[in-house]
């Protein structure tokens, strides 16, 4: 035998030389949940190790992550039911929990890069990502709300805006709104191929944001479709997105690969709450080695073509690098 592939696997050093994909804390974005109150950290029951923090403790958490080398944070708000309405008006209330918190983080920890979420669901009394009328989700009317929300977030200091709702035309609408107000440097990471997935369950627990009726299939993509992701990505690219995201990540590695091969901007993947919960639950039962499963999951997402991974494992991963 002239060619023996095992020669390149014979020692740790040679294996490392031959290793094609590496993962670094620089690649990660840490999603965090903020809730009203002070000195409050409530663990999300379906996401062991992940908490909803009051703003003061959220700041502490970000500070400790910065020391570990995590630089970018994607923040989501959990609101009381009384703050929600049909038009998500709380989403652009500059004195509200979310925008107050973003301003405070940028003031006290300017080295943190902050990604914000643009979607109506945490603020919607219907639990949907768009305005609901007669049981239907209205597209163009929703864009107006998204524009106001994105602008308010940019004013609060957001570095990256993350439209996560899958309405048509939102990236272009938000880009134009931001540019008209002078926020030309605020980036857009578009949730381009976001699928109607069962793996968002624990996140909706964390935010109490599950739809009050129906499902999200009229705006989020059908998990059966790959080519359709090219249409979504093409539109977002043309409308000025700086990053294209695929979500969820682990069951959608082929989508990540497809977008990476077709678009010359960085591809991100959202390693969602359900993917985190699966590994945690299996590890707690002694059914999987949680640490090795996490590393393999993250590495495979990177190998598929994601340069950036949004993951609840970010802190755990960063701690392992120390
Ligand atoms: C909603 C949104 C969701 C997530 C991020 N933004 C849930 C949904 O679409 O219902 C899910 C993230 C996760 O599961 O970790 N705009």
CA 27–ligand 1 middle distance (angstroms): 20
Q: Evaluate whether 123 touches 88 at the Cβ level (below 8 Å).
A: yes
Q: Which of 118, 166, 121, 125 is nearest to 146 (CA)?
A: 118
| pLDDT at 206 > cutoff 90 | no
Q: List pocket residues of ligand 1, CB cut-off 6 Å.
A: 117, 119, 121, 129, 164-165, 200, 203-204, 216, 272-273
pTM: 0.97
User: Active-site residue numbers?
Assistant: 194, 247
* Binding site listing for Mg(2+): 232
DSSP string, 186-201: -EEEEEEEEB--GGGH
> Looking at ligand 1, which atom is closest to the CA of residue 119?
16
**Closest residue CA from atom 5 of ligand 1:** 164
Q: Provide Rg for the chain, Cα atoms.
A: 20
Peptide bond into 130 cis (omega under 30): no
Say how far apart CA 29 and CA 241 lie, in whole Å.
18
CA 48 vs CA 73, 122, 306, 312, 313: distances in Å: 19, 21, 25, 10, 11
pLDDT band per the 50, 70, 90 thresholds, residue 9? very high
Mean pLDDT of 209-225: 94
CA 13–ligand 1 middle distance (angstroms): 40
pLDDT digits (tens, 9 = 90+) for 263-318: 999 999 999 999 999 999 999 999 999 999 999 999 999 999 999 999 999 999 99
CA 60–ligand 1 middle distance (angstroms): 24
Hey, which of 200, 250, 311 would you mutate to test ligand 1's pocket, going by the most ligand atoms within 8 Å of its Cβ? Answer: 200
Please give the pLDDT value at position 205. 86
Listed in order, strand segments (DSSP E) in 87-163 are 113-118, 131-133, 136-138, 160-163
């Amino acid at each position: 035998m002239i060619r023996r592939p095992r020669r390149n696997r014979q020692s740790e050093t040679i294996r490392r030389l031959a290793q094609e994909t590496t993962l670094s804390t620089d690649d990660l974005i840490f999603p965090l949940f903020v809730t009203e109150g002070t000195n409050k950290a409530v663990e999300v029951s379906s996401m062991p190790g992940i908490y909803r923090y009051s703003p003061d403790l959220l700041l502490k958490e970000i500070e400790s992550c910065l020391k570990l080398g995590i630089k970018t944070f994607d923040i989501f708000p959990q609101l009381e039911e009384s703050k929600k309405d049909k038009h998500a008006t709380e989403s652009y209330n500059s004195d509200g929990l979310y925008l107050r918190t973003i301003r405070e983080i940028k003031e006290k920890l300017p080295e943190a890069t902050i990604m914000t979420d643009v979607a109506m669901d945490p603020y919607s009394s219907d639990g949907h990502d768009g305005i609901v009328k007669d049981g239907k989700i209205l597209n163009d009317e929703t864009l107006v709300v998204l524009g106001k929300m994105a602008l308010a977030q940019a004013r609060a200091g957001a570095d990256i805006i993350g439209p996560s709702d899958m309405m048509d035309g939102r990236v272009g609408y938000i880009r134009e709104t931001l540019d008209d107000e002078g926020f030309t440097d605020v980036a857009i990471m578009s949730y381009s191929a976001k699928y109607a997935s069962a793996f968002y369950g624990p996140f909706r627990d964390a935010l109490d944001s599950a739809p009050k009726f129906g499902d999200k299939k009229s705006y989020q993509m059908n998990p059966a479709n790959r080519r359709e992701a090219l249409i979504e990505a093409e539109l977002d690219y043309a409308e000025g997105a700086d990053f294209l995201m695929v979500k969820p990540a682990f069951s959608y590695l082929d989508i990540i690969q497809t977008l990476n091969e077709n678009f010359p901007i960085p591809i991100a993947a959202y390693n969602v709450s359900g993917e985190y919960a699966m590994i945690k639950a299996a590890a707690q039962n002694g059914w999987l080695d949680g640490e090795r499963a996490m590393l393999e999951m993250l590495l495979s997402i990177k190998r598929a073509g994601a340069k950036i991974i949004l993951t609840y494992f970010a802190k755990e991963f960063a701690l392992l690098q120390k």
